């Protein structure tokens, strides 16, 4: 990897808790219990007051999203990050050999990849790929595609763009398991530049060491734990079920069985074999056992965990025996930018770099979880000392904050008052 650029929306797209509450109250399908659930979830989500939302939602047009709204949302983010990426590296768009764009919930024709080719007047022999439906782990899927394509292309450049369409997929119904996406997902994304040219080795910031993909789509529970669907009232949204954490645990456990032997020293491998044998013998894989006997820090220096939500971050941390220092980047990325889907990992990585944690020779384990259900993990080697404040430039000095308790907790204390259960809105 030569460089990456994360997106930061303008100030007029800030989506703090107060604005979120106003958006919630615009939904006339909700009753008092649904209002209380949403506000409680927002206030306790681990998301801060400076995340960003899509233009149509901020402006009150979430009930009637248009095709132009979705295209504009993608254009602004993709072109902003690519402009900065090309300017930073000095690589021209005409030099790009491979382009991969991943957006799960929006796939127009011509494709978003074609829009990039048209905007930057890229070559006619460029290999383009447009991935949809791959969920929050799509970045690592795209990188895996690039590394395979590199095997048949020498001295090539590849660009990966990872983001998500939020505005057109804002849920307007009242199913609690579908409301969660409105509480967690925010606008964001990232563009990355890769090469397999040995002549550019000195300019690289990361080198891909290992990559393992795990897919549990053959099992009904993992397959259905997070998916786009329509509720009984006909409202489209993204369903997140209670089985999500268990599915994530299963996928991560299976992934580590393959990845751990590639990155851990012999002493840890012996323990890993023992743990795998015990799980096979008991015929179960619980979240508590997922990382038992493994000390991942013997093989990697940093962990970059998808900032999908406070519960997922905490569960991964507990299962793998990680401390607050290890989990800080994911928690802070979630607090500052929210869950930006496939782009979230790079805000996490950007935090580590801005805090000057990344030193030459360090290894980074990147853990991504997404719909399907998939767990796609990879290990990067840091090629030189890094300290670019990147997208964190205006806020890194305030992180980590003394507390991540939502300032609206007291103002919204009525949502926990059982004596208000008789209230009905008209």
Q: String of b and e for 345-384 (b: at least 16 CB within 10 Å)? A: bbbbbbbbbbbebbeeebbbbbbbbbbbbbbbbbbbbbbe
Of 408, 405, 422, 423, nearest in space to 39 by CA: 408
Phi/psi of residue 103, each to 5°?
-140, 115
Q: Is residue 38 pLDDT above 70, yes or no? A: yes
Cα 179 from chain centre: 18
Of 45, 7, 46, nearest in space to 331 by CA: 46
Pairing outcome for strands 189-195 and 3-6:
antiparallel
Name residue, tokens 């930057």.
120
Of 192, 81, 203, nearest in space to 142 by CA: 192
- Summarised one tens digit per residue, pLDDT across range 15-30 is 998 888 888 888 888 8
Token pair recorded at residue 40: 């409680």
Q: Is residue 373 pLDDT above 70, yes or no? A: yes
What pLDDT shows up at residue 280? 66
On the CB side of 3, CA atoms within 13 Å amount to: 18
The answer to whether the CB of 387 falls within 8 A of the CB of 356 is yes
Which pairs with CB-CB distance under 8 Å and at least 24 residues apart come from 324-330?
326/297, 326/302, 327/303, 328/400, 329/302, 329/304, 329/305, 329/355, 330/304, 330/305, 330/306
Which are the catalytic amino acids? 136, 215, 302, 306, 335, 339
Does residue 353 or residue 287 have the better pLDDT? 353
The answer to whether the CB of 290 falls within 8 A of the CB of 319 is yes
Of 165, 162, 169, nearest in space to 146 by CA: 162
CA dist 7 and 337 (Å) reads 10
CA dist 44 and 33 (Å) reads 16
The answer to whether the CB of 197 falls within 8 A of the CB of 155 is yes
Least confident of 14-23, 55-64, 112-121, 359-368: 14-23
Record the pTM: 0.91
- Summarised one tens digit per residue, pLDDT across range 287-317 is 444 555 578 999 999 999 999 999 899 999 9
Token pair recorded at residue 56: 């149509």
Does residue 10 or residue 269 have the better pLDDT? 10
The answer to whether the CB of 191 falls within 8 A of the CB of 160 is yes
Does residue 403 or residue 155 have the better pLDDT? 155
Mean pLDDT value across the chain = 90
Does residue 95 or residue 406 have the better pLDDT? 95
CA distances from 247 to 2, 10, 219, 241, 357 (A): 34, 36, 10, 10, 31
Least confident of 84-98, 202-216, 312-326: 312-326
Token pair recorded at residue 103: 């957006």
CA dist 83 and 235 (Å) reads 36
Which domains are delineated in the chain? Answer: 3-205 (3.40.47.10), 207-397 (3.40.47.10)
Of 32, 159, 21, 170, nearest in space to 100 by CA: 159
Token pair recorded at residue 172: 């307007």
What pLDDT shows up at residue 273? 76
CA dist 192 and 4 (Å) reads 4
Name the DSSP class of 94.
Answer: G
Helix (H, G, I), strand (E, B) or coil at 316: helix
The answer to whether the CB of 5 falls within 8 A of the CB of 191 is yes
Where does the pLDDT of residue 275 fall: very low under 50, low under 70, confident under 90, or very high at 90 and above?
low
What pLDDT shows up at residue 8? 97
Highest mean pLDDT among 179-188, 357-366, 401-410: 357-366
């Amino acid at each position: 990897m030569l460089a990456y650029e994360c997106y930061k929306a303008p100030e007029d797209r800030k989506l703090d808790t107060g604005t979120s509450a106003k958006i919630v109250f615009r939904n006339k399908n909700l009753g008092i219990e649904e209002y209380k659930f949403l506000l409680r979830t927002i206030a306790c989500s681990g998301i801060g007051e400076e995340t960003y939302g899509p233009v149509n939602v901020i402006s009150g047009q979430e009930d009637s999203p248009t095709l132009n709204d979705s295209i504009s949302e993608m254009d602004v983010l993709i072109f902003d990050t690519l402009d900065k990426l090309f300017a930073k590296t000095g690589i021209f768009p005409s030099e790009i050999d491979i382009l991969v764009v991943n957006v799960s919930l929006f796939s127009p024709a011509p494709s978003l990849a074609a829009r990039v080719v048209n905007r930057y007047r890229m070559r006619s022999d460029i290999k383009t790929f447009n991935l949809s439906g791959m969920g929050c782990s799509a970045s690592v899927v795209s990188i895996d595609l690039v590394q395979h394509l590199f095997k048949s292309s020498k001295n090539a450049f590849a660009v990966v763009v990872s983001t998500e369409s939020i505005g057109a997929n804002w849920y307007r119904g009242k199913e609690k398991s579908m409301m969660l996406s409105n509480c967690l997902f925010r606008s964001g994304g990232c563009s990355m530049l890769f090469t397999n040219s040995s002549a550019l080795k000195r300019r690289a910031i990361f080198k891909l060491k290992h990559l393992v993909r795990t897919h549990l789509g053959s099992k009904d529970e993992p397959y259905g734990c997070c998916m786009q669907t329509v509720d009984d009232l006909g409202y489209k949204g993204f369903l997140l079920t209670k089985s999500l954490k268990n599915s994530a645990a299963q996928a991560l456990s299976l992934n580590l069985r393959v990845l751990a032997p590639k990155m851990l020293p012999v002493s840890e491998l012996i323990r890993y074999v023992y743990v795998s044998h015990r799980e096979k013998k008991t015929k179960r894989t619980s979240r508590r056992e997922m990382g038992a006997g493994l000390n991942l820090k013997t093989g990697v220096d940093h962990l970059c965990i998808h900032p999908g939500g406070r519960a997922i971050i905490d569960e991964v941390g507990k299962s793998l025996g990680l401390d607050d220092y290890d989990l800080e980047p994911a928690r802070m990325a979630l607090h500052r930018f929210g869950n930006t889907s496939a782009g979230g990992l790079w805000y996490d990585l950007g935090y580590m770099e801005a805090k000057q944690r990344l030193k030459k020779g360090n290894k980074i384990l990147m853990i991504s979880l997404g719909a399907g259900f998939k767990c796609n993990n990879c290990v990067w080697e840091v090629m030189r000392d890094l300290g670019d404040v990147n997208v964190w430039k205006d806020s890194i000095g305030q992180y980590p904050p003394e507390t991540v308790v939502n300032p609206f907790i007291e103002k919204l204390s009525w949502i926990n008052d059982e004596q208000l259960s008789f209230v009905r809105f008209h």
